[in-house]
Amino acid sequence: MTDCLLLRPYEPAYFDDFYTTRSRPDVYRYLFADHLDDRAKAEEAFAKKMTQYEVTEEDQWLVLAAYWPEAGRVIGDVVLSWLSEEHRQGEIGYVFNPEFHGKGLAREELKLHRVQAESDVRNEPSWRLMERLKMCREAHFRRSMMVKGEWCDSYVYALLKEEYESA
């Protein structure tokens, strides 16, 4: 939990907020998938998210709704993928409704040795957030991913446990 956001499993009451965010094309500009403008498809995606509330083994995703009490609604979600038990590594991701960008809301402590995140180079707000979180840019992969039919560059950032603890 942060000072501003509550991270919690998705529940049925959050669907309208989920759909409001996920139906926006601008939210998906730098994501592999397309926005969920079809309500039935959004309901399917939402039902899956409601099952991803714990991680018990590698290659699973923990998906938590980002609820902002001040707004009285879910403004996005935060995900954690357990990449390696042996190496104690995970990968984070996040999606926020653009209405709430720039408010310093995306901060959360994770108890892993190393956490990484990847961003489309064009998505400056995303990689700037990683920098504000004191993550280190480790790589710039050129034309490494296909997004909406276009080859794109990506940045990979990471944060080690000792870096987080000393910040």
Beta-bridge mates of residue 136: 158
pLDDT tens by residue, 64-74:
999 999 889 99
The verdict on residue 1 lying in a domain is no
Rounded Cα distance, 135 and 108, in Å: 13
Which CATH number covers residue 45?
Answer: 3.40.630.30
Residue 162's domain comprises 6-166
Between the two ends of the chain, the Cα-to-Cα distance in Å is: 18
Tally of domains in the chain: 1
- What's the average model confidence in pLDDT over 107-134? 81
Under 8 Å between Cβ of 53 and 104? no
Q: Is the pTM of this model over 0.75?
A: no
Q: Which residues contact 149 (CB under 8 A, 6 or more apart)?
A: none
Q: Which residues contact 122 (CB under 8 A, 6 or more apart)?
A: 30, 152, 153
